[in-house]
Chains A and B, each alone.
Chain A
């Protein structure tokens, strides 16, 4: 008889291990492929998310207007077109009227700097300012190097900012197209999106999305109304300074718009709004002995913005802004620091973005708690 080697069958656990090892390796390689793909596609995805988020915020702001038009019998698409027509007209007028004024203003500031630089250099001009300051504050001296560096940086970056603005025109057009789709068909899109939610969480998700949308609308509307309030008050205040004290502050509407927008950032915003007015007053009144005697109207401007803030904090904001922006000053500073990593836009958007996230998280938490899921 032929002596045959017995075939050894590996124990089941070992076979199971080998089969699983193969499967695991395949899954591992697939995972690596997916991760590499995701890493490569990440910038594109982030860009798309950014566009969608901005378009969603615009939709939340504009939707009430389209809803109102629909309630008076105008179809949604016509309503959206009317709203967009209004926006384009306003932005168009703003560009036609505002940009030449802005360029003139920048040119004037540049002239002042160049004039003084040519005559007796920027250093001697800064020394002049230091002499004026020393009359009031003997121990205080402005560091001239820092100021000349800052002005060089500002004018150096101005070109790149303008160049970037032209580049972002395509992005703005994309955002407007998406917003148009959201305005006309947003509720149907939302309905399709929410349909995928399992039955168990459906009612809760619908409720959360509705409440979040409502809160966001109130929050953004409140912020914009408060910004508008500050801008209108700033126009009145700066015009009064020009009228009563002959303060020679030009670009009142532009400064007021910046002050209004900056007001969205608590604590720091009012100072950011004040700065352009002080800079313009300083450069417009250089060499004027009356203005120098009045310390370039800086005190007047500070008092005016202080009054605007008082009215905003005690009258306008309590009426129009919901309490969702109650934040610790440290949180605001941290958020602005984080936002500054992205740039000036990041600094502006960090606090409102945090406010929006807070509203969303609050609503989701309340919803989950109400349905006893947490």
Chain B
């Protein structure tokens, strides 16, 4: 069977293009983030109204270890370094984060101090989604707020499971080392 050639109608195509909803860079980035990936475009638009888009210069600190945390950050473009500072030692750099990566999400749930520092490695455009914004969503759009909290809990649960299995592996490793030491 001969396949029919696809006919394109330029006028119709341009009309179709015009009808296509225009998505902002922030909306596209939010839709790629695990926490917001199951939200509808309508809901993402509501979240977009709540977020703050900030620009950072290279080496500009985003937050410092020990600062009271108040929200999470999502990278639209650029790279961000996460540094863990130990007193009297050089700061340890954790893996570099890039486009659509997010960090600091625990601060959405409590205002305990930041456990690491974040610094822009080059020119970055970053979305800031803070606890006051989440609280406002919870107050005015409770269904959407609950959805965000549920997704956030899922992300944290997955991470906790991963940490538990790492801890288990480490524990086994230590036990093996201790047993080997006993034999020796």
A: which residues have CB within 8 A of B? 67, 70-71, 187-188, 191, 194-195, 199-200, 202-203, 206-207, 209-210, 370-372
Interchain CB contact under 8 A, B54 and A199: yes
For B49-63 the 0/1 string (1 means CB < 8 A from A) is 100101010001111
Interfacial chain B residues near A187, Cβ < 8 Å: 136
Task: Tell me if B67 is interfacial: C-beta within 8 Å of chain A.
Answer: yes
Q: Say yes or no: B70 contacts A203, CB within 8 Å.
A: yes
Q: Is the CB of B62 within 8 A of A207?
A: no
Check B52 against A202 for contact (C-beta < 8 Å): yes
B window 64-113: CB within 8 A of A: 66-68, 70-71, 111
Nearest neighbor of B67 in chain A, beta-carbon distance? A371
B56 touches A191 (CB 8 A): no
B residues sitting closer than 8 Å to A (CB atoms) are 49, 52, 54, 56, 60-63, 66-68, 70-71, 111, 128, 130-132, 135-136, 139-142
Q: How far is the CA of A166 from the CA of B24 in the complex (A)?
A: 50
Q: Is the CB of A203 within 8 A of B71?
A: yes
The docked-state distance in angstroms from the alpha carbon of A246 to that of B49 is 61
Q: Are A202 and B128 in contact (CB-based, < 8 A)? A: yes
A191's partner among B52, B60, B63, B140 (CB-CB below 8 A) is: B52
In the assembled complex, how far is the CB of residue B64 from the closest CB belonging to chain A, in whole angstroms? 8
Our pick among B60, B61, B132 for the contact of A210 (Cβ within 8 Å) is B132
Select one of A71, A188, A209, A370 contacting B68, CB under 8 A: A370
Q: Contact check, A199 vs B60: say whether CB atoms are below 8 A apart.
A: yes
Contact of A206 (CB < 8 Å), options: B130, B140, B141: B130
The answer to whether A71 and B54 have CB atoms under 8 Å apart is no
- Across the interface, name the chain B residue whose C-beta is closest to A195: B52
Whether the pair B67, A370 counts as a contact (CB closer than 8 A) is: yes
Q: Establish whether residues A207 and B70, one from each chain, have CB atoms under 8 Å apart when the complex forms.
A: yes
Seed contacts A207-B111, A370-B68; 11 additional CB < 8 Å A-B pairs: A70-B141, A71-B140, A202-B52, A202-B54, A203-B70, A203-B128, A206-B71, A207-B70, A207-B130, A371-B67, A371-B68
Closest A residue to B68 using CB positions: A370
Q: How far is the CB of A102 from chain B (nearest CB, A)?
A: 39
Q: Give the residues in chain B near A188, CB-CB below 8 Å.
A: 49
Please name the 9 residue pairs, one residue from A and one from B, whose CB atoms are nearest each other, closest first.
A210-B132, A70-B140, A370-B68, A207-B70, A67-B139, A203-B70, A67-B140, A71-B142, A71-B140
Query: Nearest-CB distance from B113 to chain A (Å)?
Result: 9
Q: Which residue of B lies closest to A202 (CB)?
A: B54
For this complex, 29 residue pairs linking A to B, each with C-beta atoms less than 8 Å apart, are A67-B139, A67-B140, A71-B140, A187-B136, A191-B52, A194-B52, A195-B52, A199-B60, A202-B52, A202-B54, A202-B128, A203-B63, A203-B67, A203-B71, A206-B71, A206-B130, A206-B132, A207-B68, A207-B111, A207-B130, A207-B131, A207-B132, A209-B132, A210-B131, A210-B132, A370-B67, A370-B68, A371-B68, A372-B67
Q: How far is B131's CA from A207's CA once the two chains are assembled, in angstroms?
A: 8
In contact, A206 and B136 (Cβ under 8 angstroms): no
Partner of B130, one of A70, A200, A203, A372: A203
A98 to B184, CA, bound (A): 97
